[in-house]
Structure 1
Amino acid sequence: MYDVQTVRRDFPILSREVNGKPLVYLDNGASAQKPQAVIDAVTRGYAEEYANVHRGLHYLSNLATEKYEGVRGIVARFLGAKDPDEIVMTSGSTEGLNLVAYSWAMPRLKAGDEIVLSVMEHHANIVPWHFLRERQGVVLKWVDIDVNGDLDPQAVIDAIGPKTKLVAITHMSNVLGTVVDVKTIVEGAHEKGVPVVVDGSQACVHSPVDVEEIGADFYAITGHKLYGPSGSGAIHIRKERMAEMRPFLGGGDMIRHVHKDQIEYNDPPMKFEAGTPGIVQQIGLGVALEYMMGLGMENVAAHERALCDYARSRFDGLNWLNVQGNSATKGAIFSFTLQGGAHPHDISTVLDKKGVAVRAGHHCAGPLMDHLGLTATCRASFGLYNTTEEVDTLIEALELCHELFA
């Protein structure tokens, strides 16, 4: 049985107060809190076990290397990948997506070539492609969502033309909570000979992910949303794509031999991991993923589905609240505005006085905000430690906002 109160005791920050009120942390879509096991692993990594990896032959270096490299296997298991050597360690999804842009796409795409993406993408899955648009004349083709916030997989497939060289798509919207049928998109794109990069930053947090079943060429994740340290993450890259990629960053670990007039690169995945990595951060990520798998991702998903259903029922009773996105696949992410024009920053400030932490702004999703005709929303995003009682506290705080701003 999934006992959320037992889970909450694993997260020390959840016992604190903010503005004299118990903390209700609903900003998980931006960054999740850390369990004690992760905090302990990071502390131990710096206090008792720190050394650089790969280069040393002494005890601490060997220990750090063993733990760091072990995370590759943990990530592979978490994502359902068959081969740990298809896991490239990164500082997060942003680096992973930029790796695809610079190492795979830039050498292959020329002026007039197309990249298909949806209006729901996070800036991390937009800006690298804009670099190619600005610098190489690549064309970005946008696919819209429907009135419920759903993305039709066939619309994405239909947007793929003879000049399309890549599809870049989110697995779950960080604003609307919409879960995208990426497997169908991948299958359709592959039938047309087009690879797919998936931004899995949100989806892998809330439900089990199987990259072998999805079949995407690239699948990026970020550690700080997965209850792990900031500056940690990974990207799954199929070996046939790795073979097509040139190095992105140059420096230690990604080389085998360097001479004045010659260089020999290391084998993948090391070929794409230059310099000293975030050793302790990645070790912390491994602990976070083990923690989540220990809870059972199916259990996490069931808990959050129940939370989502309860929150939807409470939001539905507020006719002065405009919730964006009503997809049947919606996860526990709610972006909203108040009727009457109260600015989301003002709403979030009032909520904060009640101890409720939400995010206000464009959520790094400019094209989606343009599509919705908004400049900003408030976003309440739930995680594995949130409760129905916290939903009730959020609703009470929103009712106060309505009284103040109506």
Structure 2
Amino acid sequence: MNANAPIYLDYAATTPVDPAVAELMSACLTLDGNFANPASRSHLFGWKAEEAVEIARSQVAALIGADSREIVWTSGATEASNIALKGYVEAQGLKHAHFITSAIEHKSVLDCFAYLEGLGHRVSYVKPQADGRVSIDAIKALIEGDTALVSLMHVNNETGAINDIAELGQYLREQGIAFHVDASQSLAKVPVKVADLNVDLMSMSAHKMYGPKGQGALYVRRCPEINISAQMHGGGHERGMRSGTLATHQIAGMGKAAALAEQLLDKEHVQLQGLREQVIKGIDALPGIRLNGSREHSVPGIVNLCFRGVDGEVLLLSLKELALSSGSACMSATMAPSYVLAAMGLNEADALSSIRFSFGRFTTAEEIQRALAVIERVYSSLSPNATSN
């Protein structure tokens, strides 16, 4: 990497592809590699491509403790959530049903529910607690006789807050209510086993765990009561749930990324926890900066900080030595304060003064130390009250 390049601290937006993943993907592109259409079952080239796809399916299934037949390939977590939510409603033939979600879900989930509201369904939106977590009791209190499905993210993409998916999943299973989980930000960061979490539908993304962009998967629990209708029609691929020619190189890349995630999970958690503690210790020495979210119940690789009294846009522009974002990449074009932070109770000024720092597999302690020095210098110049203790 160029020595003058900014320090990359936006892993929650996307992770760099692991070199081992890139190497495998590159071997699936050209004539002398595994380039064929996996649906071409009349020759060796197609058989080899299909084998690569199924190996990857098994690798993703192994990461989450699922049966490989429960994995449906998609273009990403956004499509996975659309298939899960719209497809479930359509397959069940639901009319004017009730759904529950949180007010801080990813836009792909919130927009799906807005679409379902337009069809006449009712949706309850639970606000998070001040620490960014969603109260399971608050969700339970909203359940009605016609509640058909609950959707809750495992880890919030802006604050890193971890929700108690297992407790909620067990309760919903007992009530016979379907449960969808967006696991985009939890895979490769915390253990994710579908049996332990009691989930029925789960969205996954490759590019959040050192795999390629444009590839994702949907977990669909194999049982009579969980069915989804296809939202993309064509050749009947993926057992009729998602048509379209499978991208062998993308899928193989996600499979390899999943295998690496399972192998490195414990080691990386320790590494990232150390980096998080380094960041927290560094900002604790700077008055006027506070942590948005939970110190205890959060993935280690995401730290959301409020720089009180400083305009967030000015701060971001001043921190040009660091590659950062103010929140979700999907919302980065807007000037409005984060709807996640607003739902947590932050006023508009504090929400606009907040920045997300996210780091990962390739971040070093030396980079964090350099970043903290930059933050202290810039923040001190922008805030008259930012003197060190």
Same fold flag (TM > 0.5): yes
Would the alpha carbon gap of residues 364 and 157 (structure 1) be closer, same or farther in structure 2, given more than 3 Å must change? farther
Q: State yes or no: 1:63 paired with 2:48.
A: yes
Structure 2 partner of 1:132: 116
- Structure 1 Cα separation of the partners of residues 149 and 339 of structure 2: 19
Instruction: Give the count of matched residue pairs.
Output: 368
How far off its partner does 1:241 sit? 5.8
Partner letter of residue 325 of structure 2? R
TM-score, length of structure 2 as denominator length: 0.88
Q: State yes or no: 1:185 paired with 2:168.
A: yes
Q: Is the 8 A contact 1:168 1:196 kept in 2?
A: yes
- Structure 1 Cα separation of the partners of residues 262 and 340 of structure 2: 32
Would the alpha carbon gap of residues 384 and 326 (structure 1) be closer, same or farther in structure 2, given more than 3 Å must change? same
Structure 1 partner of 2:326: 360
Q: State yes or no: 1:145 paired with 2:128.
A: yes
Alignment of 1:91-240 (within 5 A): 91-107=75-91, 108-111=93-96, 113-134=97-118, 136-240=119-223
Partner letter of residue 123 of structure 2? L
Deviation string for 1:305-351 (max 9, x for gaps)?
Answer: 222222222222222223311242112212223222322x3322322
Structure 1 partner of 2:359: 382
- Structure 2 Cα separation of the partners of residues 348 and 241 of structure 1: 50
Would the alpha carbon gap of residues 324 and 243 (structure 1) be closer, same or farther in structure 2, given more than 3 Å must change? closer
Q: Secondary structure at the match of 1:147?
A: coil
Would the alpha carbon gap of residues 248 and 92 (structure 1) be closer, same or farther in structure 2, given more than 3 Å must change? same
Partner letter of residue 207 of structure 1? V
Partner letter of residue 16 of structure 1? N
TM-score, length of structure 1 as denominator length: 0.85
Partner letter of residue 251 of structure 2? Q
Show structure 1 runs of 4+ deviating over 6 A. none
Deviation string for 1:381-404 (max 9, x for gaps)?
Answer: 121222332222221121222133
Q: Structure 2 stretches of 5 or more lacking a match? A: 332-337, 384-389
Give the aligned CA root-mean-square deviation in angstroms: 2.0
Partner letter of residue 379 of structure 1? R
- Structure 1 Cα separation of the partners of residues 13 and 47 of structure 2: 34
Structure 1 partner of 2:334: none
- Structure 1 Cα separation of the partners of residues 190 and 208 of structure 2: 13
Structure 2 partner of 1:335: 304
Q: Is the 8 A contact 2:158 2:327 kept in 1?
A: no
Alignment of 1:53-92 (within 5 A): 53-81=38-66, 83-92=67-76
Partner letter of residue 192 of structure 1? Q
Alignment of 1:389-400 (within 5 A): 389-400=366-377
Partner letter of residue 330 of structure 1? S
Q: Is the 8 A contact 1:98 1:128 kept in 2?
A: yes
- Structure 2 Cα separation of the partners of residues 317 and 167 of structure 1: 41
How far off its partner does 1:370 sit? 3.2
Alignment of 1:31-50 (within 5 A): 31-47=14-30, 48-50=33-35
Q: Is the 8 A contact 2:36 2:46 kept in 1?
A: yes
- Structure 1 Cα separation of the partners of residues 128 and 85 of structure 2: 24
How far off its partner does 1:178 sit? 0.7
Would the alpha carbon gap of residues 130 and 241 (structure 1) be closer, same or farther in structure 2, given more than 3 Å must change? farther
Percent identity over the alignment is 25
Q: Is the 8 A contact 2:88 2:226 kept in 1?
A: no
Q: Secondary structure at the match of 2:303?
A: strand
Q: Is the 8 A contact 1:350 1:397 kept in 2?
A: no
- Structure 2 Cα separation of the partners of residues 147 and 246 of structure 1: 37
Q: Is the 8 A contact 2:188 2:262 kept in 1?
A: no
Q: Which of residues 298, 314, 317 in structure 2 aligns to 1:349?
A: 317
Q: Which of residues 273, 295, 307 in structure 2 aligns to 1:305?
A: 273
Q: Is the 8 A contact 2:166 2:196 kept in 1?
A: yes
Q: Secondary structure at the match of 1:191?
A: helix
- Structure 1 Cα separation of the partners of residues 156 and 295 of structure 2: 11
Would the alpha carbon gap of residues 291 and 205 (structure 1) be closer, same or farther in structure 2, given more than 3 Å must change? closer
Q: Is the 8 A contact 1:45 1:280 kept in 2?
A: yes
Q: Is the 8 A contact 1:231 1:278 kept in 2?
A: no
Structure 2 partner of 1:271: 240
